[in-house]
């Protein structure tokens, strides 16, 4: 009985603990809300940003239930919304937002691509209908726009992906680190990634990843998109919250808020 209890404990550990990190829990592109709900919410996000005159905004989504996220992390993906002239397949031109993202590949999760999509695509498979939004100051918006429309946007992309990429190193990059790198490239008018990293090290405080090191070590063994090799000590990564705090600290935010279907 005693041994049975231990086996049971081991079984529970295996079944619940590691997946609870989200290290290997995957979506199959499943949608959790009706198309009408997603369309309505996406349009609301667009209208709120447009009403505030945002040409550029950092936008975060919640890809899995909040209770399954590590402590201190509330958002699972960050992209950049750019007010654009959108041309449709039938040739019409519409004013709206385009979303610029670093997405990991579905078949090679340790690799990423830069992909532009639109708000309904961005929020298409979220598990919580909520958007985190940071609207930078006009000057920073202008500079981010310059970066987004230059070769720098692609140049600072590192396709080697890790979900907990260390933002202070050049080894791996995730969606939030790419966003952070764009912000720093914009602030300092540079496409020199080493200079960007030096400035991030000096001024940006990354989020500690509060996950048991043993779990992380095992995650790095079994999940291609998790590595701890770029973390000499306690793992840290860039998050929507930490980028937001950095921008607030240095007076680079016009407004930050969340949008839900009801607020």
Partner 1 sequence: MRKYIYVIFSFVLTGISVHSHAGEQASTQSVQHSGQASAHSAQAVFSGLIASGQAASAVSAVPLALSASAGVVSGEAANALLDIANTPIGTPLPITEETYSSAGPPPDEALKGDNKSDTKP
Who contacts 16 (Cβ-Cβ below 8 Å, separation ≥6)? none
| Residue 55 binds to partner 1 (criterion: CB under 8 A) | yes
| Residue 164 binds to partner 1 (criterion: CB under 8 A) | yes
| Residue 27 binds to partner 1 (criterion: CB under 8 A) | yes
Angle, alpha carbons 229-230-232 (nearest 5°) = 90
| Residue 263 binds to partner 1 (criterion: CB under 8 A) | no
Residue 28: CB minimum distance to partner 1, A: 5
Residue 208: CB minimum distance to partner 1, A: 11
Who contacts 5 (Cβ-Cβ below 8 Å, separation ≥6)? none
Cβ(158)–Cβ(219) below 8 Å? no
Helix (H) or strand (E) holding 128: strand 128-136
- Which residue reads 């936008």 in tokens? 59
Binding to partner 1, residues 231-250 (CB under 8 A): 237, 239
Residue 196: CB minimum distance to partner 1, A: 19
Residue 3: CB minimum distance to partner 1, A: 8
CA separation for the pair 199, 193 (Å, rounded): 10
Identified binder of partner 1 from the candidate list 82, 156, 236, 259, rule CB under 8 A:
82
Identified binder of partner 1 from the candidate list 128, 226, 252, 253, rule CB under 8 A:
226
């Amino acid at each position: 009985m005693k041994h049975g209890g231990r086996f049971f404990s081991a079984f529970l550990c295996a079944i619940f603990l590691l997946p609870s990190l989200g290290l290997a829990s995957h979506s199959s592109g499943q949608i959790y809300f009706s198309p009408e709900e997603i369309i309505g919410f996406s349009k609301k996000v667009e209208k709120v940003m447009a009403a505030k005159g945002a040409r550029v905004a950092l936008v975060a989504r919640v890809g899995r239930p909040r209770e399954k996220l590590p402590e201190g992390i509330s958002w699972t993906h960050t992209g950049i919304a750019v007010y654009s002239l959108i041309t449709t397949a039938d040739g019409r031109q519409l004013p709206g937002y385009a979303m610029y993202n670093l997405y990991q590949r579905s078949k090679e999760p340790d690799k990423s691509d830069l992909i532009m999509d639109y708000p309904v695509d961005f929020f298409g498979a979220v598990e919580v209908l909520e958007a985190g939004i940071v609207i930078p100051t006009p000057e920073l918006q202008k500079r981010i726009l310059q970066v987004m429309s230059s070769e720098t946007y692609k140049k600072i992309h590192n396709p080697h992906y890790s979900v907990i990429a260390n933002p202070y190193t050049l080894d791996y990059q995730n969606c939030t680190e790419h966003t952070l790198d764009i912000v720093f490239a914009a602030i300092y008018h540079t496409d020199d990634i080493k200079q960007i990293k030096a400035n991030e090290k000096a001024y940006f405080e990354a989020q500690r990843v509060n996950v048991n090191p043993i779990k992380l070590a095992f995650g790095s063994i079994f999940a291609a998109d998790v590595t701890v090799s770029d973390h000499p000590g306690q793992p840290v990564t860039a998050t929507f919250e930490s980028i937001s705090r950095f921008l607030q600290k240095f007076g680079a935010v016009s407004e930050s808020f969340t949008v839900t279907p009801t607020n």
